[in-house]
Amino acid sequence: MALFKDLNIEESILKAIEKMGFTEATPIQEQVIPAAKDGQDVIGQAQTGTGKTVAFGIPLLESVDKDASHPQGLVLAPTRELAMQVSDELSKLGRDKGITSLAIYGGQDISKQIRGLKKRPQIIVGTPGRFMDHMRRKTIKPEYMNTVVLDEADEMLSMGFIEDIETILKEVPEDRRTMLFSATMPKRLKTVINSFMTNPVTIAIKSKEMTVENIEQRYIEVHEKQKFDALCHILDIDPPELAIVFGRTKRRVDEVTESLGIRGFAAEGLHGDMKQERRDAVIRKFKRGAIDILVATDVAARGLDVNNVSHVFNFDLPQDSESYVHRIGRTGRAGKSGIAFSFVTPKERDHLKVIEKSTKKTMKQQSVPTYEEALAGRQDRSVNHLMQSLRSGNFEHLMGAAKSMLAEHDPETLVAAALKTMTKEPDQTPIRLTGEAPVHAKRRSGGGYGGGKGKPNRNSSSARKRTDNDRGGRGRPGQDRNRGGGKPAAKVKSLAFKKN
């Protein structure tokens, strides 16, 4: 594996990389950076979590002039979360060079973005819809863009943004450098490549190099009504550093989030109906560890990049295998290991097999965790806390009370009483969640099942054009598919919590 210092990177950018704690380049970085620095168009085929932003960010930052009066670099991303993530990372990389990046996306006041543009950022990271809004307003002039990056291009295709991308590419100079990154390479995407890229070099990262290899994958077969207790018990048995719980609908996210709070867990929800300010605040809290658990829909969590996520829970199985890979890829990042649990109802066994076949990975079955196991997990933590306190010392002021108690009680009884005091029993407040219909492996019109190859049904969730307001651009607020109850989550007036 190559070192960044051996890749002929500008000193100011290399200094920023070192400040960020990076010394060795990932496989995609090692291959993309030299090719892009030579001015070649690049196609990078790799999953999320492989270091793509740094791979295209370094050549992009080296190509811009910090004294120019117009933005010269453009990164198009499918969601507002990914746009913000990429913009933040580019700003860190370009800080010592004096390069700034601005994220533009739907759901944020456009006048605020216009004020940001007046500060003359060198790089724009945006969602296609909002970038086109600025093009129409002439607040961004695409004719000055010398580098264009299409990040997660297959996702933008599945969301229906491909026509917007083609419109944008027709407006930027023909002699630009274009870089495209995608986990998969559908035929429609190849049309864009043939029309708008010049002799691109293709760099494909093999699956064995993906961070998914660092992830232990397990499944638990449970009935719908058992899911929530199973989740709480796992959280007690194996407390996460940070965890993401994926729900299929906004309603599910709201109910699980509130129910976790009732059971005493620090959790927040994230979905497309939330105002942008609220979403930003939740993500900040999650990144700094102010909350342990993030409950999210696929739409909201797309592009979320947090290195310390130790657990991912598929509370509801995703509709397709690609979504499954994106979900579990939120853990096992930056060389760390992670664990992914999937809750599978008896009617979803076939769909589980489809996911396993598509990902070429067999999940390990785990039994449904019990209350006794959850209590034992809490007791183990109390023992660990007691031992840490013993090692740390600084309890001399308590020795008098300890000796007095030992005069009346044997040591074993005193330690047991201390552990009992420290151990809070798992909360068993009865919770009732609105049921979600099981997801089935459906044959696609182009052949195959679920996450396999073939043309998706136009009515499927992956083929529908999502609105930019949920994904990061223009339009009315987006809606996550609500398969379970038949009504949008926003119309659910209250949650049902049933006590015995």
236 C-beta neighbours (distance < 10 Å), count: 24
Q: What is the pLDDT, as a whole number, of residue 186?
A: 87
Measured CA to CA in angstroms, residue 328 lies from 215, 276, 333, 468 at distances of: 8, 24, 10, 24
Instruction: Give whole-number Cα distances, 268 to 281, 295, 339, in Å.
Output: 10, 6, 20
Quote the CA–CA distance of 72 and 69 in Å, as a whole number: 9
pLDDT for res 378: 77
Q: Token pair 């491909």 is at which residue?
A: 162
pLDDT digits (tens, 9 = 90+) for 417-446: 766 776 677 778 888 899 888 886 544 333
Please report where in the chains the tokens 């995608």 appear, as a residue: 182
The pLDDT, as a whole number, for residue 59 is 96
Q: What is the pLDDT of residues 238-261, one digit of tens each?
A: 889 999 999 998 999 999 999 999
Tell me what pLDDT residue 367 has.
94
Please report, in tens digits, the pLDDT of each residue of the chain (500 residues total). 688 989 999 999 999 998 887 888 888 999 999 999 999 999 998 766 678 999 999 999 999 998 898 999 999 999 888 898 899 999 999 999 999 999 999 888 999 999 999 999 999 999 999 999 999 999 999 999 999 999 999 889 888 899 999 999 999 999 999 999 998 888 899 999 999 999 999 998 864 444 467 899 999 999 999 999 999 999 999 889 999 999 998 999 999 999 999 999 999 999 878 887 888 899 989 999 999 999 999 876 666 778 889 999 999 998 877 788 888 988 887 678 899 999 999 999 999 998 888 788 899 999 999 989 878 877 777 677 778 777 777 777 888 888 888 888 888 887 777 667 766 777 788 888 998 888 865 443 333 333 333 333 333 333 334 434 444 443 333 333 333 333 333 333 334 433 33
- 45 near 203, Cβ under 8 Å? yes
| Cβ neighbours of residue 226 closer than 8 Å, sequence gap 6 or more | 368
Identify whether the C-beta of residue 76 lies closer than 8 Å to the C-beta of residue 127. Answer: yes
CB burial class (10 A; 0-12, 13-18, 19+) of residue 446? Answer: exposed
Provide the pLDDT for residue 496: 40
pLDDT at 441: 59
Instruction: Tell whether domain 4-209 is in CATH 3.30.930.10.
Output: no
Specify the residue for token string 């933590």: 381
Q: Return the CATH fold of 212-365.
A: Rossmann fold (3.40.50)
Coil, strand or helix: which one is 492? Answer: coil
Give every CB contact of residue 396 below 8 A, 6+ residues apart in sequence. none
For residue range 136-173, list pLDDT tens digits in order: 999 999 999 999 999 999 889 888 899 999 999 999 99
Q: How is residue 4 annotated by DSSP?
A: G
Asked if 71 contacts 124 with a C-beta cutoff of 8 angstroms, the reply is yes
pTM: 0.58
Q: Can you read off the two tokens belonging to residue 85?
A: 């993530």
Angle, nearest 10°, between helix axes 11-19 and 80-94?
120
- CATH 3.40.50.300 range(s) for the chain read 4-209, 212-365
3-state secondary structure string across 344-404: ECHHHHHHHHHHHHHHCCCCEECCCCCHHHHHHHHHHHHHHHHHHHHHHCCCHHHHHHHHH
Residues paired with residue 126 on neighbouring β-strands, in sequence order: 76, 104
